[in-house]
Structures are given as C-alpha cells and as structure tokens.
Amino acid sequence: MYKHKYYNTYQYCLLLFIIGTIILYGCQSSPKKQSKPEWIDVPINMYEAIDLQDQVNNGHKMGLVDPRQVTREFLDRQLGLQGDITLEMTEESDEGKFFRATPDKKHSIELFLIQPVDQGITGIWKVKKYRIIE
C-alpha cells in the first residue's frame, strides 16, 4: 500500500483538529456556575421586639431566646414549611447566627438571625433575612 509523503502530517493535523474541536465545544457546553440568590430582608418592628423582650424578661414566651425555635416558627408561619426539616447552624458571629434549613433534597433555605434588643442568653432572636437555594 502506497502512502503519500504527507500522510503522517495529515493524520497529525486531523488529530489536532478533532482534539481542538472537542475542547472548544466541551468548554462552551459546560454549565455556568450559578450565584446564590439575593437575601430577602425581613423587617423587624422594634416596638414589637422591645415588647417581646419585656415579656421574656418577665418569664413569658421563653421560646424566643432559642434561635432554633425561632427559625422553625418562621419557617412554619412565614414560609408555610412544616414537617421533617433538617436544621443546622452554619455560622455564628457577633452580629448573629446563620442557619440552613433543608425541607427536601432539592431546596434549602439560609436564614440569618439577630438579637435586636438584649444580647446573650436572655435576648430574643428574630430572623433578619433569608434566601431560598435551589
């Protein structure tokens, strides 16, 4: 079988073309990394927060000093989520606490809670903002 003197060069160029095409199309079709959605602010009525803090200081509504309880009540009352929801604290800082709630395998909700009146173990917690991650 006769091979032209440029036969090996032709195969080499064809191989480079195929590899280049695969790389080019492979990079274009890769999914773009999605950024997390914006936070949704939850307005805090300071008059109400002060009143609730006074009630806690007088021995009533003690569940408001538990950030997990406040998070669960927010998910139930504001977002209508009930049932078996996994809840974990993801970060704690001087400003507040971040929680992640996972109601199902496809979604999660990130929440940020603060103590708007008193800080420490007797301070009430309120949800300041949240976002839904899909």
- pLDDT per residue, tens digit, the chain (134 aa), is 555 555 566 666 555 566 766 776 665 554 555 678 999 999 999 999 999 999 999 999 999 999 999 999 999 999 998 888 889 999 999 999 999 999 888 889 999 999 999 999 999 999 999 999 98
Considering the domain architecture, whether residues 126 and 101 belong to the same structural domain is answered as: yes
Considering the domain architecture, whether residues 84 and 120 belong to the same structural domain is answered as: yes
Considering the domain architecture, whether residues 18 and 69 belong to the same structural domain is answered as: no
**Residue 54 in domain:** yes
Considering the domain architecture, whether residues 61 and 6 belong to the same structural domain is answered as: no
Q: What is the 3-state secondary structure (H, E, C) of 36-82?
A: CCCCEECCCCHHHHHHHHHHHHCCCCHHHHCHHHHHHHHHHHCCCCC
Q: What is the CATH number of the domain that holds 90?
A: 3.10.450
Domain that holds residue 6: 1-30
Q: What's the rounded Cα separation, in Å, for the pair 73 and 111?
A: 12
Considering the domain architecture, whether residues 124 and 83 belong to the same structural domain is answered as: yes
Considering the domain architecture, whether residues 49 and 25 belong to the same structural domain is answered as: no
Q: Which residues pair with 89 in a beta bridge?
A: 99
**Residue 14 in domain:** yes
Considering the domain architecture, whether residues 48 and 22 belong to the same structural domain is answered as: no
Domain total for the chain?
2
